[in-house]
Amino acid sequence: MRVTLLLLLLLVVVVLGLWLSGWRPPDRFNPWAPLDVRAEPDLFLRYKLHRLDEDPARCRAALAQAGARFTPLPDHAGRDGCGWHDAVQLSGTGIAQLTHPTTVTCPLAASLVMLDRHVMQPAAEAVFGQPVRTMDHVGSYACRNVYGEQDAALSSHATAEAIDVTAFRLGDGRVVRIGSDWHRGSSGVFLHRVEDEGCRYFGIVLGPDYNIAHQTHFHLQESRGMGGWCR
């Protein structure tokens, strides 16, 4: 027991000495390293996404580094708890464009950039042999309760923390629609892969298999440090 404590103390002294000398572990092994959305996700992805929520400047820097097209927005306090904090007007995720710019929180934008780079594009190349050029969506921010029901909780859309994606437009102009292609051949394979592999970058992903309200779109919601909950 005494030997174990001495070895542990020696390890702490060695690590502290290295740290004070300026040594840092590689970013993928360092939970405090800034999130590089271009890099393959590591074990600390959730924690790094959570830290983006606490550091707007770092979040915007991560988007710019990845080539996302966005404009920072001032915070907005709406009625009944609606509004947004640390949001951007997002028009492109680095490779793909959005059909029209939309207001999303910066951490949600970062998750969309990673979805584009690490899931959508590899899946499209594997299944169709071409990239995704555009993501179709029906908006993000909407001051409403869940499902628009009066007695329900405030929707994540009411704080710009979620976006509803409806389709993907490929390089040759073909459109893969969630509502009509979910069970259709190669398009269905692509859509299921996007949902399954995209789960790690979001707090919640809901699709056609969840309920009738989501038969036509993916509901993609900011992580906030949560593990992926996908249905």
Token digits for 118? 């690490």
Domain that holds residue 124: 47-230
Residue 218: closest CA among 200, 198, 226, 227: 198
Residue 60: closest CA among 96, 113, 99, 102: 113
pLDDT at 15: 45
- Whether 202 is covered by a domain: the verdict is yes
Burial group, residue 212, by CB count within 10 angstroms (0-12, 13-18, 19+): exposed
Go through 25-45 and write b for each residue having 16 or more CB atoms within 10 A of its CB, e for each that does not.
Answer: eebeeeeebbbebeeebbebb
- Whether 123 is covered by a domain: the verdict is yes
Q: What is the mean pLDDT of each run of 10 residues along the chain (231 residues)?
A: 56 50 58 80 82 89 96 92 96 96 97 97 98 96 82 90 98 97 97 94 94 94 74 79
What gap in Å lies between CA 42 and CA 17, rounded to an integer?
26
Go through 188-210 and write b for each residue having 16 or more CB atoms within 10 A of its CB, e for each that does not.
Answer: eebbbbbbeebbbbbbbbbbbeb
Please enumerate in sequence order all residues whose Cβ is within 8 A of that of 57, keeping only pairs 6 or more positions apart, or say none: none
CATH number, domain at 162?
A: 3.30.1380
pLDDT at 59: 94
Element (DSSP H or E) covering residue 41: none
pLDDT at 49: 84
Q: Is 22 helix (H, G, I), strand (E, B) or coil?
A: coil
Token digits for 142? 């909407």
Contact 167, 178 (CB under 8 A): yes
- Whether 37 is covered by a domain: the verdict is no
- Whether 26 is covered by a domain: the verdict is no
Contact 214, 206 (CB under 8 A): yes
pLDDT at 100: 96
Rounded to two decimals, the pTM is: 0.86
Tell me how far CA of residue 2 lies from CA of 9, 10, 57, in angstroms.
Answer: 11, 12, 47
pLDDT at 29: 59
Contact 220, 115 (CB under 8 A): yes
pLDDT at 202: 93
- Whether 53 is covered by a domain: the verdict is yes
What gap in Å lies between CA 173 and CA 5, rounded to an integer?
64
Work out how many domains the chain is built from and give that number.
Answer: 1
- Whether 87 is covered by a domain: the verdict is yes
- Whether 74 is covered by a domain: the verdict is yes
- Whether 165 is covered by a domain: the verdict is yes
